[in-house]
């Protein structure tokens, strides 16, 4: 079965929106045979620019994806 881009885009959008909503609520979501999306907190840090200037990067939360063993085998 071949799907056109017009059919795939709405499905992909809904899938990603559902993942975003679930991760915000629960802190992580597990999709069987695909992987786990979870929130990871990053510490504040200093960053040196090519010009030599040092700037401060604030602490933040990011979403991390961990693929499942089954996903890695395929």
pLDDT band at 1 (very low <50, low <70, confident <90, very high): low
CATH code of the domain in which 34 resides: 4.10.520.10
Query: Domain range holding 35?
Result: 5-73
Query: Where residue 55 falls among pLDDT bands split at 50, 70, 90?
Result: very high
Which residues have CB under 8 Å from 39's CB, separation 6+?
23, 27, 28, 61, 62, 63, 64
pTM: 0.66
Count of domains observed in the chain: 1
Residue 11's pLDDT band (boundaries 50, 70, 90)?
Answer: confident
> Residue 2 — φ and ψ, nearest 5°?
-110, 130
- The closest of 28, 58, 26 to 40, measured between CA atoms, is 28
């Amino acid at each position: 079965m071949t799907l056109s881009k017009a059919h795939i885009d709405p499905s992909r959008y809904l899938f990603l929106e559902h993942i975003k909503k679930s991760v915000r609520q629960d802190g992580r979501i597990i999709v069987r045979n695909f992987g786990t999306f979870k929130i990871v907190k990053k510490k504040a840090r200093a960053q040196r620019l090519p010009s030599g200037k040092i700037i401060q990067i604030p602490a933040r939360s990011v979403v991390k994806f961990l693929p499942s063993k089954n996903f890695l085998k395929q």
